[in-house]
Amino acid sequence: MAEFWHGYLLPLLITIGEILCVVVPLLVAIAYYTYAERKVLAYSQLRKGPNVVGPLGLLQPIADAIKMLFKETIVPSSANRVLFIAAPIVSTALALVAWAVIPFDTGVVISNINVGILYLFAISSLGVYGIIIAGWASNSRYAFLGALRSAAQMVSYEVSIGFVLVTVLLCAGSLNLTDIVMAQRTVWFFIPLFPMFVVFFISGLAETNRAPFDLPEGESEIVAGFHVEYSAMTWLLFFMAEYGNMILVSAMTTILFLGGWLAPFNIEPFSGFLGHVWALLWLLGKILFVMFCILWVRATFPRFRYDQLMRLGWKVFLPLSLFWLVLTAGVLVATGWVPSH
């Protein structure tokens, strides 16, 4: 019995505890990201935003969640029932499982796998399925159009994201996310790889279907796109997936380009427990900054036209990232800076 306890049950409980430590704050962050979005958009447009429910409107996300929970989930009679319900679940689950490999400090990570960055890339490339399945299972023209747009868009931008990731890998010499952060002790990667940083951020917007690339939703022409038939919890799950993905992209940008939890110039005034808090604060600060930039972009830019979106992905970002990949490899080899482990 004792062997069973130490061999299986205890590790299992510890892992579940770790998962809860990541997922619960993440869910709260998702809820308050919607609030932040409404506030940022409101102030950008000289409005006040939500300010009625609770002080400063801070209880608004909770009120929204309760409203969603108590609404009725309507499944259209001609929809494919199983897939219709499965699609939002797949979307949200994918947005959450990616956090398994995100490191919060040296060694503070649920699963420190060797191919962490590939795992993130794999999970983010699966996000498209939730949307396609939703669009198809709804059995609605609008939803289907939204799904097709989304599929084409996400596949297109994934290509340049892939090249950006390879460029970062070349500079870090590892596929492990902790190693990638530690490789930025000398210089954060957004300085030498600035064009790739920009490409990654914009592709990230396209990958999460955010403004100005939110064509899959395109209210003005296809109502709400892939989730037009969804209501209540199923709709809420789609939005949790979207906001979760936005936070994930912010975290990825931070880890790959902004030095993760490293403070500028490696300032480490504390050690021990306070040192971990310091690192975590830097990580969260950077993630919050990128998250704000996403909202800022939404408040600033009009939506792209579809052909412009495709042109940007295939004719601008793809050649640029390919060129920069070859250039980076060339410079690393020529100067002998290829990282070796």
Partner 1 sequence: MTDAVLLQTIMFYIFAAITVASGVMVISARNPVHSVLFLILAFFNSAGLFILLGAEFLAMILVIVYVGAVAVLFLFVVMMLDIDFARLRSGFMRYLPIGALIGAILLAELILIFGSWAIAPGIEGLKAAPMTATAAHGAMTNTRALGDLIYTRYVLAFQIAGLILLVAMIGAIVLTLRRRGGVRRQRIAAQLARSRAQSVAVVNVPVGGGAGEPVEPVAAGE
CA angle 63, 251, 235 (to 5 degrees): 35
Q: Nearest to residue 107, comparing CAs of 291, 270, 275?
A: 275
One residue of 37, 64, 105, 158 binding partner 1 per CB under 8 A: 158
64 or 207, CB closer to partner 1? 207
Stretch that binds partner 1, among 122-130, 195-203, 252-260, 284-292 (CB under 8 A): 122-130
Q: What does the alpha-carbon distance between residue 313 and residue 307 come to, in Å, rounded to a whole number?
A: 10
C-alpha 226 chain-centroid distance: 19
- Residues near partner 1 (CB under 8 A), total: 28
Helix (H) or strand (E) run with residue 106 in it: none
Q: Does 101 bind partner 1 (CB under 8 A)?
A: no
Q: What does the alpha-carbon distance between residue 154 and residue 224 come to, in Å, rounded to a whole number?
A: 17
106 or 125, CB closer to partner 1? 125
Binding-site string for partner 1 from residue 170 to residue 189, where x marks contact by CB under 8 A and - marks none:
-----x--------------
Q: Does 333 bind partner 1 (CB under 8 A)?
A: no
In whole angstroms, how close is the CB of 330 to partner 1 at the nearest point? Answer: 16
Q: Does 97 bind partner 1 (CB under 8 A)?
A: no
Q: What does the alpha-carbon distance between residue 199 and residue 170 come to, in Å, rounded to a whole number?
A: 17
One residue of 121, 142, 230, 243 binding partner 1 per CB under 8 A: 121
One residue of 33, 35, 99, 119 binding partner 1 per CB under 8 A: 119
Tokens 């969603």 belong to 68
60 or 156, CB closer to partner 1? 156
Q: What DSSP character marks residue 175? A: S
| Cβ 304 vs Cβ 314: under 8 Å | no
